[in-house]
Amino acid sequence: EAGVVQSPRYKIIEKKQPVAFWCNPISGHNTLYWYRQNLGQGPELLIRYENEEAVDDSQLPKDRFSAERLKGVDSTLKIQPAELGDSAVYLCASSSTREGEQYFGPGTRLTVT
Amino acid sequence: AQKITQTQPGMFVQEKEAVTLDCTYDTSDPSYGLFWYKQPSSGEMIFLIYQGSYDQQNATEGRYSLNFQKARKSANLVISASQLGDSAMYFCAMRALNSGNTPLVFGKGTRLSVIA
């Protein structure tokens, strides 16, 4: 069974440019999460989807970040415009059961110069 | 709200020895799950072990065991017979279990270095 797929793995952009990250969760997983991991820290939730619905986006900086999960499968996270402080690893995870573990993708390492 | 505290920024262990990574937590949720993840330099978060707050016995998965002490609110990870490939960041995390697929709350992690 394929794991959570993310692309790109690495991205370097200049500040004020837009950037987008893509995530394909494990087949059948209805819950999808986007986390941001700053250097030397644990991941922190940005947004959680139950199927197509964003049920927890309180930590998403909505002035510059947006996300979508069309058809309840793949998801895209966008930043526009990017700032220097957005440099981090963006992790996507998925889960299927209330008490099950979350499976993480390899992450996208974003560097904003 | 939940909070995870990992007080050891870095740990060293000799190959083939056992090591304990500390984790304490705080929550007001009556039902919760505790997790440990390993993050090698490649960046992927690898699930290691899970303990439910209602589980009477400590969880074990191969060389990993979770020393769960509910009264002390601690969930320490024990790795037996350390291997060089165990060198990585280790994160303790938790989430509430009574309201759907809630997100994980992570600690700051402990960097484990295994010495030959």
Q: What is the pLDDT of residues B3-31, one digit of tens each?
A: 999 999 999 999 999 999 999 999 999 99
Min Cα distance A14 → chain B (Å) is: 23
pLDDT digits (tens, 9 = 90+) for B82-101: 999 999 999 999 999 877 78
Distance CA B16, CA A42 (A): 28
Instruction: List, in sequence order, every residue forming a beta bridge with B70; answer none if it has no partner.
Output: none
Q: Is the peptide bond before A106 cis (omega within 30 degrees of 0)?
A: no
Q: Is B64 on the interface with A (CB under 8 A)?
A: no
Is the predicted pLDDT of residue B78 greater than 70, yes or no? yes
Average per-residue pLDDT for chain A: 93
Contact residues on chain B for A35, CB-CB shorter than 8 A:
103-104
Min Cα distance A61 → chain B (Å) is: 17
Average pLDDT over every residue of B47-70? 95
Would you state the pLDDT for residue A1?
66
A15 — pLDDT class (breaks 50, 70, 90): very high
Q: Is B99 on the interface with A (CB under 8 A)?
A: no
Would you state the pLDDT for residue A2?
81
pLDDT digits (tens, 9 = 90+) for A55-98: 999 899 999 999 999 888 999 999 999 999 999 999 999 998 65
Cβ pair A42:B106 closer than 8 A: yes
Look up residue A25 and give its two tokens.
């969760």
Q: What's the residue count for chain B?
A: 116
Tokens 């899970």 locate to B50
Is the predicted pLDDT of residue A30 greater than 80, yes or no? yes
